[in-house]
Amino acid sequence: MTDDHQRGHSRSGRDETTSQFTISEYDRASIGVVEAVATATNRNAGTLPQLGHVIDPDALDDLLDRGEDVELSFEYAGTEVTVHGDGTVFVTDD
């Protein structure tokens, strides 16, 4: 997984950081999302809430396995996560 960080301001004027990650073809999308959020927030993936509390991990994996032009956004562990069909994940942390 690769990452890139950008710092900006939200519409509310608060500082926010958006990190971009690419999920490798060997990772399940759901695992890649958890790893991306853990990296973006400097936390251990094992300490994050279960992803299944906010989205069905199997459905996420199936959706992204299709390789279609899709974008999905949801809140997870205090961040906003946007996943694209090409395996790009954006994590925005206030």
40-63 confidence digits (pLDDT tens) = 999 999 999 999 999 999 999 998
Higher pLDDT, 92 or 68: 92
Q: Left if phi > 0, otherwise alpha if psi is -120 to 50, otherwise beta: which for 62?
A: alpha
Q: What is the mean pLDDT of the chain?
A: 85
Q: Following DSSP, what letter does each residue of 38-94 receive, concatenated?
A: HHHTT--GGGSPPGGGTS-HHHHHHHHHTT-S-EEEEEETTEEEEEETTSEEEEEE-
Record the pTM. Answer: 0.81
Where along the chain do its domains lie?
Answer: 2-93
